[in-house]
Amino acid sequence: MEVFDTTIIGGGPAGLYSAFYAGLRAMNVQLIEAQTYLGGKLNLYSEKIIWDIGGIPPMPAGQVITHLIDQAKTFNPVIRTGETINGIKKTADGNFQLETSKGRTYLSKTLLLAMGNGILDPIPDPFFTNEGERLDNVHVSLTDFERMKDKRVMISGGGNSAVDWANALAPIAKEVILVYRREHLKGHEAEVEKVLSGPVTCKLQSDLISKTLTPDEAGIAAITVRDAKTGQEESVSVDEVIVCHGFNRKNDLFEQNEIGLTVFEEYFVEATSEAKTAIPGLFVLGDAAKYPGKVRLIAGAFQDAVNAVNAAKTYTDPLANAKGTVSTYDDKLKQKVSSVWENYTSEQ
């Protein structure tokens, strides 16, 4: 059976960038993603404009995913989607043996844990269903902005996602009404400030009491909102509803491994230094990692990926350059560099 130099668990920004970087370091790589699609959490906000990745012009997260996937494929790693790692052991000769949901077994010299907060499924809320049936105008994520044009959109929730959606939809929707049961919104200060001072109608410390369905009972036509401070109730008519109540996280791997992999603090794996964990050959990166100063952003995932790959590289080849400086004059890269250069000059 083929033994990979490294196996990356998770196909979000951390996993995808490390697939590229490990290829750059001449490693034999496989990446395994539980969902049937790549991109990790970016799929939850694929229409949101991302503007905080250095050197990349502002673009929707969906487009960032496309670029990440293209880059990840540069050195032809094996990429498997729709397959969950649900067991890890060590073999007598020191390799990791991975068991997957498809009943397959893979061998790998090192493991890069890029599993974010685990496999995410929206937390179900019966309020937004009709006798258990999903309603047509209720969404937990958006891939179709056009649909929101000139609509009255109610957002339920007050965390990062709710705040981001409110700001993103305000310029195109007829009205955005954000309802949150707490007093303060959570999220980046600038984004929260924008919601509070912009055109979004904010109903804080408010609860959703009851709903009126559309005549065909396929969607929600209006929601009664109660102001918890005054007790006043108001029926708000809506065209679309976005529910941002968080996600259930599945992280069975922490219970289903025989290598001593444990959760350090809720959903996180402790990195000792430069993405190293207490388990030799196992490295952690991206949102899954916990260490002082960890930044849970795409840019943070990229830095973790470089450190994790360099650590994995020197684990498999102790004589390899630990800092991972890769010259574009390297034989392996010459051809790629010249084709990039040709494309660039022909576009000028």
Ligand X SMILES: Cc1cc2nc3c(=O)[nH]c(=O)nc-3n(C[C@H](O)[C@H](O)[C@H](O)COP(=O)(O)OP(=O)(O)OC[C@H]3O[C@@H](n4cnc5c(N)ncnc54)[C@H](O)[C@@H]3O)c2cc1C
In the complex, the residues that contact ligand X under the rule CB under 6 A are 9-15, 32-35, 40-42, 44-45, 50, 52, 84-85, 114-119, 160-161, 164, 253, 286-288, 296-299, 301
- Nearest residue to 167 (alpha-carbon basis) of 186, 193, 203, 139: 193
C-alpha R_g of the chain: 23
Q: Least Å distance between CB 296 and ligand X?
A: 5
Nearest residue to 263 (alpha-carbon basis) of 275, 278, 248: 278
Choose between 80 and 226: whose C-beta lies nearer to ligand X: 80
- Residue 99 known to bind ligand: no
Distance from the first to the final alpha carbon of the chain: 48
- Give the tokens for residue 2: 């083929």
Query: Is 53 labelled a binding residue?
Result: no
The reply, when asked if residue 328 is annotated as ligand binding, is yes
- Determine whether the annotation assigns residue 109 to a binding site: no
φ and ψ at residue 252, rounded to 5 degrees:
-55, -25
Q: On the CB side of 49, how many CA atoms lie within 13 Å of its CA? A: 9
> Is 201 within any annotated ligand binding site?
no
Q: Is 332 annotated as a binding residue?
A: no
Rounded distance between C-alpha atoms, residue 162 and residue 206, angstroms: 15
Quote the least distance from Cβ 59 to ligand X, whole Å. Answer: 11
Measured from the CB atom, the residue of 181 and 186 that comes closer to ligand X is 186
* 193 annotated ligand-binding residue: no
d(CA 283, CA 273): 10
Q: Give the nearer residue to ligand X in terms of CB position, either 296 or 336.
A: 296
Closer CB to ligand X, 40 or 158, in the complex: 40
- Helices (H) and strands (E) in the chain — how many of each? 6, 23
Shortest spacing between CB 254 and ligand X, in angstroms: 9
* Length in residues, the chain: 348
Give the shortest CB-94-to-ligand X separation in angstroms: 22
Nearer to ligand X, 115 or 306 (CB): 115
- Please, which residue, 169 or 225, has the CB nearer to ligand X? 169
Q: What token pair was written down for 34? A: 């539980």
CB distance 162 to 244 below 8 Å: yes
Smallest gap from Cβ 189 to ligand X, in A, equals 14
Closest-CA residue to 112 (of 313, 312, 257): 312
The CA distance from 37 to 46, in Å, is: 13
Feature table: binding site for FAD: 33, 41, 45, 85, 120, 287, 328
